[in-house]
Each structure stands twice: as C-alpha cells, then as structure tokens.
Amino acid sequence: MYRIISTPASKFRQFRRLRSRPKTTTATDEEHAFQILWRHQILDPDSDIVAYWNKVFLVTSLLALFIDPLYFFLPTVGGPACLQADPRLSIIVTILRSFADLFYVLHMLMKFRTAFVAPNSRIFGRGDLVMDSREIAMRYLKSDFVIDLAATIPLPQIVIWLVIPASSNARTDHANNTLALFVLIQYVPRLFLIFPLNQRIQKTTGVIAKTPWIGAAYNLVLYMLASHVTGATWYLSSIGRQFNCWKTQCQIENKSHTLSCFSSYLDCNSLDLPDRQYWLNITRVITKCDAKSKINIKYKFGMFAEAFLDDVVTSNFKERYFYCLWWGLRNLSSYGQNLDTTTYLPETLFCIILCIAGLVLFSLLIGNMETYLSSMTVRLEEWRIRKRDTEEWMRHRQLPPHLQERVRRFVQYKWLATRGVNEEAILLSLPLDIRREIQHHLCLSLVRRVPFFSQMDDQLLDAICERLASSLSTEGTYIFREGDPVDEMLFIIRGQLESSTTNGGRSGFFNCIKLRPGDFCGEELLTWALMPNSTLNLPSSTRTVKALSEVEAFSLQAEDLKSVASQFKRLHSKKLQHAFRYYSHQWRTWGACFIQAAWRRHQKRKATRELSLKEGLYYLSFPETDESGLLEDYEIGQSSRNAKKVQNLGATVLASRFAANTRKGTHKLPDPVPQLFKPDEPDFSLDHEL
C-alpha cells in the first residue's frame, strides 16, 4: 500500500461535497471525485509502492536495453550484392520497444508525484519531506527531467516508420546508418538511468537482491547485456564493411568507364530491374568483395570476415542473433585476443574498446559473483575456523579422548541447530517491543506444550516468554548434579533426560525416572523463588539430571524467575500450587515413596498382630482341646472379669513374651524403605492478596 502524504484541504472538501451529493449522483461524478483525490496524492519515497515500482522499472529497463540492439539485426544480405531490411523483425522490435517506452512514461509520472527530502533538513535524522506538488515538479524539471525525456522519446520508431520512408534517398545503407545513430544516441541516457536506480533501491531496501543467487544472476545478466551489445555492433559493422567493399568497387568501375555501377543497384529493391540484371552479369563487384574467394587479395575484411565465412549475414534471425551473442561473449571473456584485425581505423578502435571493456566487465563479474556466492558460505567458513581452533586447543591442553568427543558432538549439534547464527545478539539489537513480539511468536506455542505452563494466563506466559532462553545439550551432558546449586529451570522441548536421586547419599535408596518433552527439571528453584523471604543462596539440587540424547529446551534463570514471582502474585495461587505438585517429578517421587512406606508399615503391623495372637494361643493351649476350641476359650477368658488365676497368669506371661519379641524384631528387621523427606513447600500466605 502507498502512503498519502499530502492532499490539500480544499480538494478534500471538494471530494466530500461530491460524495455527499444526493443519491441521484451519476457514476461520472464518482469517477471525477476519485480523480480529484488521486491527482493530489503525494507518495513517500520510502513507501512500499515506490520501492516495488523501482524494482519493476529496473527489470523493464534491462529488457529495454536488450531490445534496442535488436535494430542492428534488421539489415541482411538479401541477394547478390544487395542489402535489405527484415520487415517482420521491424514490426516485432517496434512493438516490444513501444511497450518498454510505456514504463519510461510511467516512471516520469511517478517522479512528479514522489516527495523528496529537503536538503537543509538532513542535519538530524531522516529529514523533512517536501510535500508540495509544485515544488516537486520544479525540482524534477531542473534535475532529471531532460535525461528521462531523452530516454523516453521513441526515436527508433519515428526514424524507421516516419523519417526514412519520407526521405528522398531512402536506400537501405542510409536507413541503417541513420537508425544505428539514433539508437546509439538514445542508448546512452537509458544506460545512465540504471546507475541512479540501483543506488535508490540500495538506499531504500539495503540490497539489490534479497538472496545471493539473485545477486549473482543480476551481475551475470549485466555481463550478458554487454555481450549482446558487442555482438550486435559487430554484426552491423560487418554489414557496413561488406557494403563499403561493394561501394568501393563500384567507384572503381565507374572511373574506368567500362561499366556504369549505380548505388541503387546495391539495394535489393532493384533486383528485378533489367539494367541491374545486365550489370550483375558483367560486373566484378561480387568476386572482388567475396570473403570466401581466394582471388580477392586487396580488400581485407579482418575481424568481420567470420560473418561471411560462416554465412551469418544470410541466415535467419535466430541463427545470426545467437551466433553474434556467442561472438560477443567469447571475445569479451578473452579480451579480444583471438581477433585478426587490419589497419582499418574503425576496426582497430573497436578492438581497443572491446579489449578494455572486456577486461573491466569480466573483472567486475568475477568480483561481484564471488562476493555474492561467498556470502552464502561465510557462516560455514566461520564455523570451520572455529572448529579448527577448538581442535588445536584440545590437543594443546591434552584433553582425554572421551572429553574431546563430547566437545565435538556439542559443536556439531550447535551448528546443526543454529547454523552459526548468534540469536541472542540479533534479539538484543532490536527494540524491546519487537523483541517481545518475536519471543512471543517463537516460544508461546512451545511453552504451552509444558503442562505446568498451560495452567497460566496469557499475561503471565508473556512475561515468562520474554525471559526464556534456548538451551542445547548433547548426549551424556550432566545438567544438574545432586547437591550442586540450581541456577535455572529447564523446560524440555525435544529429547530425553534421566533424573535420579539417592536422597542425599543415603545407603539403600535410589530413584530414577525419565523426563520427556513437556516435562521440566530444577523445580527447587521455583520453590525458592516463591518464598517471600528467600535468601541470596541458591537452592541445592536434590536430583542428578543427565541427557540421554540431544536435548533442546528453554531455560529460565534464577533472577528472571524471582522477578516474575515478585511481579505476578498469581504465581502464588492454590491452582498453580496444585499444578506444580502434580507435574513435579520430585513431588511424585515423594508421594510414591510415602505411599510405599505407609503400606509396608501397615503390612508389618498386621503381621505383628497375627504373630502375637498365635503366641498367646500357644501358651494357653490344652492337650485335649484343638486350636479352634482354645481360641474360643481364650476370647471368653479375656472378656470375663472372673477368669481363673491360671488364665490371668498366662495372659501376663503372654504380654511379657510379646514385648520381648517386639524388641527383638525392632533390632533385626529395619524398615526396607528409608524415609524420603517431603520437599519444602513454598509459603502461600499471600493468597489473600489475589
């Protein structure tokens, strides 16, 4: 979309009056209203539509530069000792040229409606735009209008369709010379427009091409354009050299008074004349000017002989065009070293210009293409140098082989993940608002995959996304070790981690779990951050976390987590507390061990009761009674206050025996599941503030 910089208030009022007319307003009034609004629109030189138009005009200008030399291919040898112009090619080239001229006209109109920066306002910043259409027009008329007008006027069309037919001496040789002169005159301003247009595009967008391949192709097209112009000029010069030979031999025959050779005979329009047929039978012009004839030793064609030896001048358009393009490309690349020239001055000057132009253009082509193509591998070269320095450093420090292999894997994995781009430096160079939007775009969808974060609202997630940093870990890397300070929380995106604990090094205890995408570790840091009176000392890790494969994760530093916890009180809510306990593997391990220990204690108490019951029945047993009868008598004896003294004595012995067995069991049967202390719970006393 283009930007409207200025529209006079009176014109806007006129536009509104036309729009506010009754519904009987015709369509003509609507069109007139929009014409008024468009007529007074001023475009920003840095707007998108102006930048897009500059690129379109650059492409059409290059096409126009390819079209103009096609006029040089119009003359051909149409018969023995005569020239003619290709009428079909004339029509096609005229249509293409007229279509290209329309873009030059549109470019002039765009300049009349494009604002410019006042020169005296460039002291600070961008400067002030001049939005007055009259000042814009006056500045354009005084600066670039003459060059643009000279490049826009359809001179070749006027010459070939109006001037030459109206001329009294409209022979093919005169037409060719006149047309070539006007084409060369107008080719200079058209070529001159390319350079400021390139500078304007680079100033607006920074580069001509967005990718290195497009930049290399752009320079190659410019080199092909130079080859195209060189080949077309060589072809037209060859035709001129052939015509000059015919004309010279005609003058020799006229001086000898043996035969009348008119210049009109050299035009193919006179092929059917009887006089020309008679002249053609007795003249020696054809044999004297035949480059293939070995008898001709006086007239030398030099570098133009190839056009006649290979029948280029008598072939169709496609064949002679591509042959001339190849001739120009070959001699530009070789600086004209293989050319066989004569002492003919125009031929010698042409070879000198060809040699100098080939040297300059070929050097520019190689240099620019090397710059563009090397920019694609600059990161790879930097990584290769860094990798070489790392290898030399490891050998110098005599690192063990397994440690060197871990370093190599990390360097390789980091290259595959980032391609050598320093993402942190790029983000830090951007404004805060843009950096926040980028972090939101990159991290939000991945962060929502973590179940704990899915319980948070968008505002809290945005604050966390701003502080997340990417983290890469290779296989075998220890992220946390049990007992070491925890300085970050890690949220897994890809890969697997192994989290194990010995509960502070207690013997007989080991717990190991796997962390997968969506899990997190370092939850001790969240407990520390949620405490209102937390110390400056970081919490110690209760688990050892090791990477089982290449792991990509987001890390949240301790300072950032503390800042979020202090700014957002919603992080202290009961809902997030329960979500944290549910998804925390530390809490899950504690809960599983707690249930297991409680179940073991229950089973132990049950076994003890059954054992005590069996021992009591053993001391109160009678020979004539079975076990079931004894159990019934024992229960009756325990419930009755008037039991016998023998039974009371048995109960006393049973109690003493049970106490002794219990003490023995305490020393011989330790608890098979050591107690795992419950993780420290954060202080949620701030819930009333939510």
Q: In this predicted structure, what is the pLDDT of residue 449? A: 67
**Domains of the chain with CATH codes:** 39-208 (no CATH), 210-398 (no CATH), 430-585 (2.60.120.10)
Nearest to 617 by CA among 593, 642, 635: 635
Q: State how beta strands 511-515 and 478-480 pair.
A: unpaired
Q: In this predicted structure, what is the pLDDT of residue 124? A: 62
Predicted TM-score (pTM) of the model is 0.62
Q: In this predicted structure, what is the pLDDT of residue 123? A: 65
Token pair for residue 191?
A: 């070529």
pLDDT, block means (10 residues), the chain with 690 residues: 43 45 49 51 83 90 92 85 85 92 92 83 70 87 89 86 68 66 85 87 76 84 92 90 84 72 76 79 79 69 86 89 93 86 87 90 86 75 84 88 85 75 79 81 73 71 80 84 87 86 72 82 78 73 87 85 74 67 69 79 86 72 47 46 45 54 47 43 40
Which value, in Å, is the radius of gyration of the alpha carbons in the chain?
A: 48
Question: What's the rounded Cα separation, in Å, for the pair 144 and 151?
Answer: 11
**∠ CA 251-254-258, rounded to 5°:** 140
Nearest to 333 by CA among 222, 210, 189, 227: 227
Question: What's the rounded Cα separation, in Å, for the pair 201 and 51?
Answer: 7
Q: In this predicted structure, what is the pLDDT of residue 34? A: 43
Helix (H, G, I), strand (E, B) or coil at 468: coil
Q: In this predicted structure, what is the pLDDT of residue 452? A: 67
Question: What's the rounded Cα separation, in Å, for the pair 320 and 315?
Answer: 6
572 to 561, 569, 686: CA distances (angstroms): 13, 6, 7
Nearest to 588 by CA among 685, 690, 452: 452
Question: What's the rounded Cα separation, in Å, for the pair 659 and 664?
Answer: 9
Element spanning 85, H or E: strand 82-85
Question: What's the rounded Cα separation, in Å, for the pair 560 and 467?
Answer: 6
pLDDT digits (tens, 9 = 90+) for 255-265: 776 666 777 77
